[in-house]
Structure 1
């Protein structure tokens, strides 16, 4: 950062630090999740239960015009205060405006906010709860979490098993994405759905290095975000028809099928193992398949 930019941004840096200090003196959520969704009701119960068991204390969920009655699944969580459900009938593309609204509205409620999707499952392979896993990174404005792509694992139709149980094959780790867990008070701007800009410093991976790099396999030992990109082939067709919340461009079915074909090369049981570990101890949270296990 140039010296001039540093000087101009210094009041905002001081303000963000002051907000951090205030937050530490009042009850707050150590970790929240912000996500936007449309017609994901069949998955919401399991997804909320998994992340709640992993240590997520609040969910800011933006409903972008669902027609499959997600309120029926989420109502117990809304009533308990675990979920804040926001009606987000925003002109396309709605995702980045939802993220900005979340930061403006809820930044002083949570120490960290993870910005992920309903087809992504965040956990620590070490078995540590997520707020504890994030504790060593509190000096950073954000943590970038590597996100392997999982394919259909041979399922043509939606299986009966939960998503992390059903889909256990992924792309090679040379093909990987990432998402951000941000200190929302330090966010200056949102580059895209993956990375943000901050008043000072940059988000880093859990090894305290930038995630991108030639021929580099990113760290997956402290935190990982399994991205169940396609689910079954039938669900992939539905995903294409539903459209993309981050762009106005329509999805191309041929491209999606071609991309999915490369997402089943290697077996990876990390999500299945995390599901079994977390949901074996989770209290009933009021909805979804996980509540009955």
Structure 2
């Protein structure tokens, strides 16, 4: 039994060993099969990669062959176009080829390629005045206005791209349409003026125009006629001229006959031309900004122009007149008098003020903003055109027409004096009871220095109390809706539509206190330039005896020894007494325009 058990045990151990060997063989066989399968997979991938590489190589060789053939063909074609003389040039020592840019950039363009012009700033127009240069700097709507410290005037000689002279601008104005006004000194003879941004570079000069012959402003009226304001026609003042000798011309380039439009002139008087607007322009409002309008003097030619018509349509739907009485004025450097003038006239019944700023360089913008913040309906309109007061008043009358029933056209040194204390609106109602009355004419009293050597701190109404005895000239309050279509005016009054009349106001009811001859330091400012078109400047030896001049003064800004006592014939304290009683602060005794200065 033991022997048999041992044999069985040996057989069992041997069978187990054989099973382990078989299992190991099977395991090894399985591993081999897995390895073989993986190897076949790797082999397949390798063959595929090599095959793709081979195909790619063949493609590259094929493309290289084609490229070589193409280059050879081009070379043959290239050399076939050369003559023997050309080959000599190619292989001679004297031939030095140079590269020519296909852009053909000029030196000036190269300089300006990184200038502010590449970012939207450009010189739109340049106007040469007798004593300065007006540059209209065009800028994108999103850009802020520049300051005087950021800009300078630059002057170029002909055919040069770099300026040979730089200077600070005389002044920097505000926004005029989509431009900013820059004023530079007169350029030296034979030079061109432009502007430069100190931090960014020079701007190319823009189109330059002589002021003596220029269409400078335009608007499309609500009857679809175009009103053009023109300098240089030299028409007689105060009357309409023969309009058949003129045409209106529209276009972006007046030298191109094919692209310009002509239209009939309806009326022409002084410096104002009214013409029919082409229907194609009326139907394309988006193109109006690029279109200029000018006047063709038949037989003489087309005047230069910077005038782009501004559409002046009536409100749609129509609105009721907002203000009973308004004022239009044109001024230069009168900011120090503006508070007194506005506050006083607001008290007697004026509701709206249109300020036409004729090249001021004082704090006028700040004063107007301050008054507006106090609730006064006052706006500033830049009017840079010198000696164009008649045109400016006509322009203002059109703008005020839909807002104001009556408009007074007076200066900042002129004050409506209501002698009976009646409200201005009541006087107008009483004097215009007849339906044909469309204008009131008010006599002016001229006041002198009244013995003063310095400007009165209380203001002109309280400070100046002595005047000349007889009245001189008049100013008017007019209904802008009833102006004659020619817009003829002599500053003091307007022509009215046919069938309408004016009324002369009784001097016991209302006059204008004109503080014309103030202390010398104030009065001599008038020697700079007169604003009216048909009034001679003080310095010119023209119409020396005219009532528009100071009697006995002459043409030089030299103070006479007796200036403080001149122009004094009657002591007139009527307006002064009313102002002190009405406006003085009970605690301080100050007038409201004085308090503004103290603050």
Q: Kindly report which structure 2 residues correspond to 1:136-285, keeping only aligned pairs within 5 A, or say none.
A: 136-138=430-432, 139=435, 140-173=437-470, 175-188=471-484, 189-199=487-497, 200-206=499-505, 219-241=506-528, 243-247=529-533, 249-252=536-539, 256=550, 258=552, 263-280=567-584
Which of these residues, 343, 346, 349, is aligned with residue 55 of structure 1?
A: 349
Deviations for 1:95-122, whole angstroms, at most 9, x for unmatched residues? 1111111111111211110000000001
From the superposition, tell whether residues 32 and 191 of structure 1 become closer, same or farther in structure 2 (CA, over 3 Å).
same
Maintained 8 Å contact 1:64/1:94: no
Q: What's 1:14 paired with?
A: none
Give the distance between the partners of 1:234 and 1:264, measured in 2 at CA.
18
Matching residue of 1:83 = 378
- How far off is 1:257 after superposition? 5.9
Distance in 2 between the 1:63 and 1:224 partners?
26
SS state at 1:144 partner = strand
Cα 1:269/1:159, change in 2 over 3 Å: same
Cross-structure match for 2:57: none
Q: Residue 171 and residue 183 in structure 1: after superposition, are their counterparts in 2 closer, same or farther (change >3 A)?
A: same
Partner Cα distance (1:88, 1:183) in 2: 22
Structure-2 separation of matches of 1:203 and 1:246:
23
Between structure 1 and structure 2, the one with the greater Rg is 2
Matched, 1:108 2:402: yes
CA contact (8 A) 1:146 1:225 kept: yes
- Name which of structure 1's ranges 133-142 and 73-82 shifts more when overlaid on structure 2: 73-82
* Deviation at residue 220 of structure 1 after TM alignment: 1.5
Q: Deviations over 1:196-216 (max 9, x none)?
A: 11012221112xxxxxxxxxx
* SS of residue in 2 equivalent to 1:126: coil
Structure 1 residue 72 and structure 2 residue 369: aligned?
no
1:7 aligns to what?
A: none
The normalised TM-score by structure 1 is 0.78
SS of the residue 1:196 aligns to: coil
User: What is the rounded CA distance, in whole Å, between the counterparts of 2:358 and 2:581 in structure 1?
Assistant: 32
Alpha-carbon displacement from aligned partner over 1:167-189 (angstroms, at most 9, x marks no partner): 0000012x422100001111113
Larger RCO (alpha carbons 8 Å, 6+ apart): 1
Structure 2: which 5+ runs fail to align? 1-313, 554-562, 586-591
Partner Cα distance (2:389, 2:467) in 1: 26
Q: TM-score, normalised by structure 2?
A: 0.39
Counterpart CA distance in 1 for 2:527 and 2:361 is: 16
Q: 2:328 aligns with which of 34, 53, 61?
A: 34
Which blocks of at least 5 consecutive residues in structure 1 are unaligned? 1-18, 207-218, 282-286
Q: Tell me, yes or no, if the aligned pair for 1:78 and 1:85 is still in contact at 8 Å.
A: no
Partners of 2:537 and 2:384 in 1: how far apart?
18
- Does the 8 A contact of 2:321 with 2:402 survive in 1? no
